[in-house]
Structure 1
Amino acid sequence: MSASSVEVEVVLTKAGRTKIRYPAAVVSDDGTRLTVRAPWAADGTRDFGFVRFEPGDVFTEHYWRDRWYAVKEVRTADGTLKGWYCDVTRPAVLSGGKLTVEDLDLDLWCSADGGTVLRLDEDEFAASGLPEADPETAAQARQALDELELLARQGWLGSLSD
């Protein structure tokens, strides 16, 4: 289903709190994967050292209702691909125009050329208490990060946009 004139509100939660919310245009929704497009939603520039997210950047975000991650293709305002930022999350839930995604701390970055693949925030994940409080969810999260790293190293993240 193509639905580019439809908007949803993306709500990213973490540890029971809303981390960020922003409007996004629905690009497609096949019942399992929902793809939305939105400009960089945070204030100002965020420099991670390996990439900068800044005003004008456009994110094409892929969310799944049956996978424990989201893949966000990041482009500059002129369309130049920066890379893919991937969040390990619980499966996405769409209800009443809200796309809710629970961030589980683990992330992965893959540069546009595929030469840089970085596992991120493993220390935050360990410190979150999730591994002790909910071992099953923690295992799903670790498995999702491993899967994302494999997709990145095999050059398959870009094919998610097809």
Structure 2
Amino acid sequence: MLTPGSEVEVTLVKQQRPGLSYPAVALRDDGNHAVVRAPWAGPPERDAGYVRFERGDVWTEHFWRDRWFSVKEIHAGDGRLKGWYCDVARPARVDPDRVTVHDLDLDLWLSGDRQTLLRLDEDEFLASGLPERDPETAARARAALDELETLARTGLGALLAA
């Protein structure tokens, strides 16, 4: 389990491209749901079209050991809620100093005003070959994306607070 206040490394393992590792601070861990906080770990600015990620953004990241997704709540440096970026991924592996997730290329974006809900990267998911190579995992990934969309429409608050 993660110890609140401890430094951890988050590693996102990607299927078709290099992954990403970055430092974070553990906020809580109940044995299933681990939460960390990290600054934006990408380039100084990245315009994704639906949101701009930039230096100073703060990501509160939620990982589960039994769910096929993670949820990142993103705030601008001034505290304004930008939205939630949700990754479909295998259940997280959480060690005392590391969180590792295997990304499955499907994502969901919900804007902070809850007016924009987008399913993302379905083309990357198909291009990964996962649906042909591992139909069972692909089916779980699609089910997780559907679950995320339902949660986004009904409110993520209860899930993130638990």
Residue 70, structure 1, aligned to residue 45, structure 2: no
How far the C-alpha of 1:139 sits from its partner, in A, is 0.4
How far the C-alpha of 1:129 sits from its partner, in A, is 0.2
SS in structure 1 at match of 2:19: strand
Give deviations 1:19-49, integer Å, cap 9, x for gaps: 1101110000000000000000112111111
Give deviations 1:62-92, integer Å, cap 9, x for gaps: 0000000000000001111000000000000
- Structure-2 residue corresponding to 1:43: 43
- The whole-number CA distance in structure 1 between the counterparts of 2:94 and 2:62 is 13
Q: 1:66 to 1:73 in 2, by over 3 A?
A: same
- The whole-number CA distance in structure 2 between the counterparts of 1:10 and 1:69 is 15
Over the aligned positions, Cα root-mean-square deviation in angstroms equals 1.6
SS in structure 2 at match of 1:11: strand
- The whole-number CA distance in structure 1 between the counterparts of 2:81 and 2:29 is 23
How far the C-alpha of 1:113 sits from its partner, in A, is 1.5
- The whole-number CA distance in structure 2 between the counterparts of 1:39 and 1:29 is 19
The question of whether the paired residues in 1 share the 8 Å contact of 2:92 and 2:99 is answered with yes
Consecutive unaligned residues of structure 1, counting only runs of 5 or more, are none
SS in structure 2 at match of 1:31: coil
Residue 95, structure 1, aligned to residue 79, structure 2: no
Q: 1:43 to 1:123 in 2, by over 3 A?
A: same
- The whole-number CA distance in structure 1 between the counterparts of 2:16 and 2:30 is 28
- The whole-number CA distance in structure 2 between the counterparts of 1:159 and 1:95 is 25
SS in structure 2 at match of 1:42: coil
Consecutive unaligned residues of structure 2, counting only runs of 5 or more, are none
Greater displacement, 17-26 / 39-48: 17-26
Residue 9, structure 1, aligned to residue 12, structure 2: no
- Structure-2 residue corresponding to 1:147: 147
Normalized against structure 2, the TM-score is what? Answer: 0.94
SS in structure 2 at match of 1:94: strand
How far the C-alpha of 1:138 sits from its partner, in A, is 0.2
1:93-132 matches, within 5 Å, as 93-95=93-95, 97-132=97-132
SS in structure 1 at match of 2:113: coil
% same residue? 62
- The whole-number CA distance in structure 2 between the counterparts of 1:158 and 1:111 is 14
Aligned partner of 1:125: which letter?
F
Residue 137, structure 1, aligned to residue 114, structure 2: no
- The whole-number CA distance in structure 2 between the counterparts of 1:43 and 1:50 is 17
- Structure-1 residue corresponding to 2:22: 22
How far the C-alpha of 1:18 sits from its partner, in A, is 4.8
- The whole-number CA distance in structure 2 between the counterparts of 1:10 and 1:30 is 18
Normalized against structure 1, the TM-score is what? Answer: 0.94
